[in-house]
């Protein structure tokens, strides 16, 4: 393991973390403000990736695809909210988990029906082809740098929206005490819909960005969903700042773990066993970290809700 | 217990089915699946409805039990008097360790942390290269009972499963009706008051969690024998979601509801899978509709009609 490889893996980890943050941000707000567990948030990421891929193919331009996929993802989120989720806000978590689980089954299968079961490949846009020199003799793909930048910019925008605007103030207030906000005369239903649609769009955005990096396939949202849940639980439910820190943490742990663990295992096992055991252990690392953090801080790193 | 005529009728029907011409290989395989999943669902219902612990990782304890069978099989231990205690013990131990951490949290965090532990079990299973890794492990033969191939006989296995299910139901119902169960239910309603009368809910919940896990392990033992195959897919979080769905479909708060839920779930799943190409596109919305409109579940429907 050289320093260069470590650096590349750390960058990959940050970039996974940024994508996770985009998914987790919507999830944590929906969760925090509405106390609503949306397992279907992952399929919105998947939907974004598919929409981006097919719109890019139809228009012949990645950028047009991205531009069109965002409102499409937003509309998809709104449709789901009106059809299903709206009726679940006042139900218990169990009902929410199951109904959104049903939505996952439907959309994962629906995507197979429309686009087929085989993974789609999305080409990197010509503008972002090639690599950048980050160290002498070390190239890093330009597209991944762009994803990192776009993610950070979105995170900044989100921070501004949540911390500096009136809507953001209401969202924060809603995450702390929704009934009180409602009692003060804010139309909490509209706020919910707004947050929900915005969260769906962010997840869709992450999906479009992920298209050229990972393969676009049915079920791709499930892995991301579970990692995003880990992120928001570690970060503290409802906290954007917590989601950001935890997303980078999870991204780094997962990526570095996957590249370091097999080598570490080789100290104890022979090569092929080490590879398999290492990969599995690396996949577990994130959950171990989550269990450890929750054991000491049951409300996460940056708890929002008072008392 | 007067409302319990329906589940008793279901058990009777399951008992009589092989004698009434449903003793073929296809029917008994299907019924075995129903009964084993019902067992796991009843134990989960005991947790969810009784103790208020919504676990999204119950499939893990089933998986631990199943993998205990597979691992012992690979080492030529196929004697039920050794395999069954090992399966139950392993699942109970797994539940004890994970429960000790998970029960410190509550609500959404509990759902998420059980999901995380389930994922850990999933990845551990995928890493067991010696026992099939991702592809799973095919047993050499079914477990023997005192040297005889009793479980290999279709009818005998059918009645063993039926007996196990009846025993599970009786055990969970007895536990819930006991003083222990009263503390659990009281803590579900109001943990503070339970503490105020001088009882800490934690050990009670942990014991309940371990018991449910042990029953899950027994179900895993039977499942491994029913299919003579064990794979990580059986531990996936989707399986845990399905078990939860059986509980909800049957109706939370009535143990026997889980039996109805499991019967309905497996029959519906099998029928749809046989008749509709993209059956999950039908199954998902049905799940959503069941959650939205079938409050109280199937058992609630039955009780209301006859109550």
Contact B61, B95 (CB under 8 A): yes
B127 touches chain A (CB under 8 A): yes
pLDDT in tens, A248-265: 999 999 888 888 877 777
pLDDT over threshold 60, residue A278? yes
pLDDT over threshold 60, residue B307? no
Task: Tell me what pLDDT residue A307 has.
Answer: 39
pLDDT mean over A135-145: 81
The residue among B55, B109, B118, B119 with the most chain A CBs within 10 A of its CB, best to mutate, is: B119
pLDDT over threshold 90, residue B90? yes
Does A226 contact B119 at a Cβ distance shorter than 8 Å? yes
Any idea which residue has 């592809």 for tokens? B135
Task: Tell me what pLDDT residue B72 has.
Answer: 92
Contacts of B83 (CB under 8 A, 6+ apart): B68, B69, B72, B73, B77, B143, B221
Task: Tell me what pLDDT residue B306 has.
Answer: 64
Write out the two tokens for B202.
């934690």
Query: Rounded distance, CA B20 to CA B10, Å?
Result: 14
pLDDT over threshold 60, residue A1? no
Task: Tell me what pLDDT residue B170 has.
Answer: 93
Task: Tell me what pLDDT residue A195 has.
Answer: 85
**In B, residues 216-245, which contact A (CB 8 Å cutoff)?**
237-238, 241, 244-245
Query: Rounded distance, CA A245 to CA A101, Å?
Result: 27
pLDDT mean over B68-75: 92
Write out the two tokens for A110.
């629906």
pLDDT in tens, B30-48: 999 999 999 999 999 999 9
CB atoms within 10 A of CB A39: 25
pLDDT over threshold 70, residue B266? yes
* Domain positions in chain B: 23-236
For B145, which DSSP code? B
- Residue in B closest to A96 by C-alpha: B291
Q: CA-CA distances (angstroms) from residue B113 to A292, B108, B116, B200, B263?
A: 10, 9, 5, 21, 29
Does B288 contact A102 at a Cβ distance shorter than 8 Å? yes
Task: Tell me what pLDDT residue A224 has.
Answer: 87
Query: Rounded distance, CA A181 to CA A184, Å?
Result: 5
pLDDT over threshold 70, residue B1? no
Which has the higher per-residue pLDDT, A270 or B32? B32
ipTM: 0.81
Residues pairing with B145 in the sheet: B148
In the structure, what pLDDT confidence band is assigned to residue A277 with cuts at 50, 70 and 90?
A: confident
Nearest alpha-carbon partner for A211 in A106, A62, A76, A67: A62
* Domain positions in chain A: 9-218
The residue among A28, A84, A102 with the most chain B CBs within 10 A of its CB, best to mutate, is: A102
Task: Tell me what pLDDT residue A305 has.
Answer: 60
Provide the whole-model pTM.
0.86
Does A98 contact B241 at a Cβ distance shorter than 8 Å? yes
Highest averaged pLDDT of the listed ranges A235-239, B167-171, B272-276:
B167-171
Task: Tell me what pLDDT residue A221 has.
Answer: 85
In the structure, what pLDDT confidence band is assigned to residue B263 with cuts at 50, 70 and 90?
A: very high
Ranges A196-200, B36-40, B275-279: which has the least confidence: B275-279
pLDDT mean over A229-241: 85
Task: Tell me what pLDDT residue B284 has.
Answer: 87
With beta carbons under 8 A apart, name residues in chain A contacting B244: 94, 97-98
pLDDT over threshold 70, residue A157? yes
pLDDT mean over B185-206: 89
Does A284 contact B133 at a Cβ distance shorter than 8 Å? no
For B135, which DSSP code? G
Task: Tell me what pLDDT residue A306 has.
Answer: 47
Nearest chain B CA: its distance from A37 CA (Å):
8
Contact B99, A292 (CB under 8 A): no
pLDDT over threshold 80, residue A147? yes
With beta carbons under 8 A apart, name residues in chain A contacting B283: 102, 105-106
Task: Tell me what pLDDT residue B47 has.
Answer: 93
A24: left (phi over 0), alpha (psi -120 to 50) or beta: alpha
Task: Tell me what pLDDT residue B203 has.
Answer: 93
Highest averaged pLDDT of the listed ranges A59-68, A240-249, B89-98:
B89-98
With beta carbons under 8 A apart, name residues in chain A contacting B292: 84, 87-88, 99
Give chain A's mean pLDDT. 85
In the structure, what pLDDT confidence band is assigned to residue B2 with cuts at 50, 70 and 90?
A: low
Task: Tell me what pLDDT residue A273 has.
Answer: 73
Q: What is the number of residues in chain A?
A: 307
């Amino acid at each position: 393991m050289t320093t260069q490889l470590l650096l590349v893996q750390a960058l990959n980890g940050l970039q996974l973390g940024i994508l996770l943050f985009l998914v987790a941000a919507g999830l944590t707000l929906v969760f925090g403000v509405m106390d609503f567990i949306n397992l279907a948030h992952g399929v919105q990421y998947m939907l974004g990736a598919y929409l981006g891929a097919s719109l890019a193919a139809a228009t012949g331009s990645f950028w047009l695809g991205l531009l069109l996929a965002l409102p499409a993802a937003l509309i998809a989120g709104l449709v789901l909210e009106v059809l299903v989720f709206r009726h679940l806000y006042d139900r218990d978590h169990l009902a929410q988990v199951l109904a959104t689980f049903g939505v996952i089954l439907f959309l994962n299968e629906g995507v197979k029906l429309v686009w087929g079961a085989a993974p789609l490949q999305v080409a990197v846009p010509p503008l972002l082809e090639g690599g950048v020199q980050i160290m002498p003799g070390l190239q890093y793909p330009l597209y991944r740098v762009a994803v990192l930048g776009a993610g950070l910019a979105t995170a900044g925008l989100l921070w501004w929206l949540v911390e500096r605007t009136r809507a953001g103030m209401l969202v924060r207030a809603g995450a702390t005490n929704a009934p009180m906000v409602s009692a003060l005369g804010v139309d909490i239903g509209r706020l919910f819909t707004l947050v929900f649609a915005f969260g769906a769009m962010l997840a869709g955005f992450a999906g479009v960005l992920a298209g050229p990096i990972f393969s676009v396939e049915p079920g791709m949202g499930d892995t991301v969903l579970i990692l995003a849940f880990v992120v928001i639980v570690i970060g503290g439910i409802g906290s954007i700042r917590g989601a950001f820190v935890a997303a980078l943490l999870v991204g780094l742990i997962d990526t570095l773990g996957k590249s370091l663990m097999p080598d570490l295992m080789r100290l104890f096992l022979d090569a092929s066993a080490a590879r398999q055991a290492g990969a599995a252990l690396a996949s577990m690392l994130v959950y171990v970290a989550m269990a450890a953090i929750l054991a000491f801080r049951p409300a996460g790193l940056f708890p929002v809700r008072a008392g | 217990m007067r409302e319990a005529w329906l589940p008793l009728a279901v058990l009777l029907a399951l008992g009589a089915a092989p004698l009434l011409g449903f003793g073929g290989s296809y029917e008994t395989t299907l019924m075995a699946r129903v009964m084993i999943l019902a067992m796991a669902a009843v134990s989960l219902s005991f947790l969810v409805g009784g103790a208020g612990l919504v676990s999204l990782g119950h499939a893990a304890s089933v998986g631990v039990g199943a993998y205990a069978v597979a691992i012992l099989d690979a080492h030529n231990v196929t004697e039920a008097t050794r395999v069954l205690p090992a399966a139950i013990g392993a699942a109970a131990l797994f539940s004890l360790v994970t429960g000790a951490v998970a029960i410190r949290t509550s609500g959404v965090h509990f759902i998420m942390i059980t999901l995380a532990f389930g994922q850990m079990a999933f990845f551990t299973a995928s890493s067991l290269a010696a026992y099939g890794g991702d592809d799973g492990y095919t047993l050499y033969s079914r477990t023997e009972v005192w040297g005889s191939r009793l479980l290999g006989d279709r009818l005998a296995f059918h009645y063993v499963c039926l007996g196990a299910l009846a025993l599970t139901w009786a055990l969970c119902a007895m536990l819930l009706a006991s003083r222990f169960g009263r503390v659990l239910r009281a803590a579900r309603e109001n943990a503070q008051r339970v503490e105020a009368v001088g009882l800490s809910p934690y050990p009670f919940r942990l014991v309940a969690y371990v018991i449910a896990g042990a029953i899950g392990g027994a179900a895993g033992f039977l499942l491994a024998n029913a299919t003579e195959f064990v794979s990580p897919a059986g531990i996936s979080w989707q399986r845990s979601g399905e078990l939860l769905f059986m509980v909800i479909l049957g109706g939370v708060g009535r143990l026997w509801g889980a039996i109805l839920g499991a019967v309905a779930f497996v029959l519906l799943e099998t029928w749809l899978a046989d008749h509709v190409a993209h059956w999950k596109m039908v199954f998902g919305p049905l799940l959503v509709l069941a959650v939205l409109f079938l409050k109280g579940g199937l058992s609630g429907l039955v009780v209301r009609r006859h109550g």
